[in-house]
């Protein structure tokens, strides 16, 4: 009975997170528009951060409660899900045209940030020795601590996030044309905007706490590690906005928007979400966590290579990405069983 209640609470938490983020973004965009902030700036800041609000809420509450396995698993798992499943599933609807700007700027930046995360998370040479001696990929001694993303690292990531936003906005304002930045922003009354912002923030806060508490309870009841719950259930749940947005875009013939949304979301997840979580409480990294971070980097490289091929991600390549994710899921489940 307790398990059923936890599942229900988890689902309720996801709904609160997703709808809360929607309302918060709509309210914030309306206020920004009233203040005559250019639409392109609104899209690159408020809307971009809005897609990562569910991950931000969950990982922040997890850090406050010292559930670092959920905080880190949520970020890494969400990034892997976005790259392999969101892009993969979207490509099944329609071939995805990849803009040159993404291949020249955002994708290389995501690669650099992913490599930086590996350096921050643990000593690679020392970890290499651990792999040889303890067969971490074969599920032995995977709980060995190999490093941590400490508060200084977290502050560094947050500073880099501010720099990323400033750089992106500056570039967009310089390169925009008359047609840029004309996306429709919902205009709301001042009262309604305030209600959306406050109500959305409350829903995000409550949803984040409910998801963390119910996920921890489910992990305990099912004998699952918090890392596995963070990498799977929580990561998939917080990535639902990206999946739904990309699927809808594909159905409207705008599948090319999906990869831009995913890359931007993944950059925000590492710099903002993990950065804030680490700034609150140092995030310990086990050997298995480190392997997942490496998988995230590998997924980024694979998508970069696939996207660079004729600047198109086709249906067969989408199937390939989904299959890779299925193998990864099988791996972490086996790791849980035999670890």
In a 13 Å sphere around the CA of 6, the CA atoms on its Cβ side amount to: 17
Residue range 248-265, pLDDT digits in tens: 777 777 666 778 778 888
CATH at 124: 1.20.1420.30
Residue listed under structure tokens 């309720």: 12
Q: Which domain holds residue 39?
A: 2-338
pLDDT band for position 43 (50/70/90)?
Answer: low
What is the DSSP-derived secondary structure letter of residue 99? Answer: P
Cβ atoms of residues 21 and 190 within 8 Å: no
Is 330 or 216 the better-scoring residue by pLDDT? 330
Residue range 46-94, pLDDT digits in tens: 766 777 888 888 888 888 888 888 889 999 999 999 999 999 998 988 8
What is the DSSP-derived secondary structure letter of residue 286? Answer: E
Measure the CA–CA gap between 246 and 261, rounded to whole angstroms.
Answer: 8
Q: What is the mean pLDDT of residues 202-221?
A: 85
Measure the CA–CA gap between 269 and 258, rounded to whole angstroms.
Answer: 16
Measure the CA–CA gap between 330 and 231, rounded to whole angstroms.
Answer: 12
Give me the number of domains the chain comprises: 1
Q: What is the mean pLDDT of residues 314-333?
A: 94
Q: What is the mean pLDDT of residues 31-45?
A: 69
Report angle CA 234, 117, 230 to the nearest 5 degrees. 10
Token pair for 62: 């997890």
The pLDDT of residue 125: 45
The pLDDT of residue 156: 96
Report angle CA 21, 24, 26 to the nearest 5 degrees. 105
Residue 37, pLDDT above cutoff 80? no
């Amino acid at each position: 009975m307790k398990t059923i209640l936890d599942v229900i609470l988890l689902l309720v938490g996801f709904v609160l997170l997703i709808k809360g983020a929607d309302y918060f973004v709509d309210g914030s965009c309306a206020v920004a528009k009233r203040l005559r902030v250019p639409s392109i700036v609104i899209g690159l800041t408020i809307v971009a951060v809005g897609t990562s609000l569910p991950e931000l809420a969950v990982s922040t509450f997890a850090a406050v409660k010292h559930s670092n396995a959920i905080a880190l698993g949520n970020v890494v798992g969400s990034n892997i899900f976005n790259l392999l499943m969101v892009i993969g599933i979207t490509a099944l609807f329609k071939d995805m045209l990849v803009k040159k700007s993404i291949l020249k700027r955002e994708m290389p930046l995501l690669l650099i940030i992913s490599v930086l995360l590996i350096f921050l998370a643990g000593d690679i040479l020392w970890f290499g020795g651990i792999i040889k001696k303890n067969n971490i990929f074969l599920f032995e001694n995977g709980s060995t601590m190999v490093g941590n993303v400490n508060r200084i690292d977290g502050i560094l990531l947050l500073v880099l996030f501010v720099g990323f936003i400033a750089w992106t906005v500056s570039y967009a304002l310089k390169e925009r044309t008359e047609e840029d930045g004309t996306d429709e922003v919902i205009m709301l009354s001042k009262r309604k905007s305030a209600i959306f912002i406050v109500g959305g923030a409350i829903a995000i806060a409550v949803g984040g706490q409910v998801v963390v508490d119910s996920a921890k309870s489910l992990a305990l009841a099912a004998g699952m590690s918090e890392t596995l719950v963070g990498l799977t259930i929580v990561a998939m749940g917080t990535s639902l906005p990206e999946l739904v947005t990309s699927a809808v875009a594909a159905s409207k013939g705008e599948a090319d928007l999906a990869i831009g949304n995913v890359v931007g979301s993944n950059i925000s997840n590492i710099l903002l979400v993990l950065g804030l979580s680490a700034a609150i409480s140092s995030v310990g990294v086990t050997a298995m966590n480190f392997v997942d971070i490496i998988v995230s980097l590998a997924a980024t490289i694979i998508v970069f290579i696939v996207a660079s091929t004729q600047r198109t991600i086709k249906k067969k390549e989408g199937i390939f990405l989904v299959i890779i994710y299925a193998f990864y899921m099988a791996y972490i489940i086996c790791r849980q069983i035999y670890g």
